[in-house]
Amino acid sequence: MKTNCSKYQTLFIFKSEEELKNHIETCPDCKREQEEMDKVSCLLKEVRFEVLKRKTKKKAAIKIACAFLTVFLASSALFLVGYNTNSDNNFYGEVLSAYDYGFPVDSYGLITVE
């Protein structure tokens, strides 16, 4: 019985490319494994661009959504601030008196009843 060579992984990880190539030329088991690795590498190269496209599209969509959200929040905040400052009933920080509500008051600021 012939045993398969198990040196490919060790040579691939720990040795130089020249040593790996020399061993692949002499060993048919490692040559077959190298061919399989080359096929997988080609497949990964083909798929790489599709994966990068999807990631790029997702990032662009997230950026656009954030930009729209920022514009929406900023414009709504500006609208609310502009609406409050332009109104005639802007008593922010002031205490309203009976006179401000339109009631008849005396000199002490109390509501007069006649």
Residue-wise pLDDT tens digits, 77-86: 877 776 555 4
**16, two tokens:** 């130089």
Between 10-19, 30-39, 95-104, the lowest mean confidence (pLDDT) is in 95-104
CA dist 14 and 20 (Å) reads 10
Say if pTM beats, i.e. exceeds, 0.75.
Answer: no
Residue 72, SS3? Answer: helix
In angstroms, how far apart are the furthest CA atoms of the chain? 123
Q: Which amino acid, residue 45? A: K
Give residue for tokens 């496209």.
53
